[in-house]
Structure 1
Amino acid sequence: MALCLLLAPAAHAAEPTGRITGVGGIFFKSKDPKALMAWYRDVLGIKIEAWGGAAMTYDAPGHPPAVIVNAFRETSGYMNPSTREFMLNFAVDDLSAFLDRLKAKGVAVLKRDDSDPSGKFAWIIDPDGTKIELWEPKPEPAPK
């Protein structure tokens, strides 16, 4: 008596190795890296490690749903008034509270937009002139 097994094809084939799995870092030049990282620590509240940079892990509840990588046309004004070729985006848990903390430290908010379907946004400039986008992601719907 022969036993015959019928296997259904997998819904999603396993992806091959040798692929991008995520953003591993953001690196940029500064005239005074130590002072700039101190600003990120003292003003934005980013924990700076002994080696001089920050390690932001995503193993905590409430982390952003995705890390966005996107290119803009050279003529885009989205990063204005910064003249840098990049912009940073940091997710925050409560945009209003975070902006209150920044204003108390003398940081000017360029603009705020609560109308985007993906969440709330605000923009500031760091001491090197880099535009920073702050993003409070729209809450994910509760499971049914």
Structure 2
Amino acid sequence: MASITGFGGIFLRANDPEALYRWYEQHLGLTKSEGSFAFPAPTQRAQIVFAFFRQEDAYFPPAQKAMINLQVDNLDGVLDRLIQEDVTVDPKRESYDFGKFGWFTDPEGNRVELWQPATTD
């Protein structure tokens, strides 16, 4: 039987896509190739989560229809660097058995979640 084999991507609307690509390149070190950011699957550190939230759920702004969750290898390092670059970073950081979380807001007002998965030593 044919089946889903994995997560294919994230698609967001933007007022100025090219400017937003440049911002993500500058502040997150992502590299645009052939019209998008691509991540090689073998570098994935943990499972990918696909979840639904109620319209009124406050986990991310209700007016925002989707939220990006990016995996990082050093949450504090990335967030501290973003603060130094004058990016709007939520001061709240959370830790759970499955990893650490933090958030920032991009120039178009999108709340983005960063996740440092727990190590599996």
Query: Given the two structures, how large is their TM-score scaled by the length of structure 1?
Result: 0.78
Instruction: Name the structure where strand makes up a greater proportion of residues.
Output: 2
Q: CA RMSD in A?
A: 1.4
What residue number does 1:19 align with?
3
Q: CA deviation at 1:124?
A: 0.8
Residue 41 (structure 1) aligns with:
25
Counterpart of 1:53?
A: 36
Higher helix share: 2
Choose from 89, 98, 103 the match for 1:123. Answer: 103
Letter in 1 for 2:46: P
Deviations 1:38-79 (A, max 9, x none): 111111111111x2311111223xx32111100001110000
Which residue of 2 is the match for residue 101 of structure 1? 81
Query: Whole-Å Cα distance in 2 between the matches of residues 29 and 88 of structure 1?
Result: 12
Name the % identity: 36
- Rg larger in 1 or in 2? 1
Instruction: Considering Cα pairs closer than 8 Å and 6+ residues apart, tell me whether 1 or 2 has the greater RCO.
Output: 2
5+ residue gaps, structure 1: 1-15
- Give the aligned length: 121
One-letter amino acid of the structure 1 residue matched with residue 60 of structure 2? M
Q: What is the aligned counterpart of 1:73 among 48, 51, 54?
A: 54
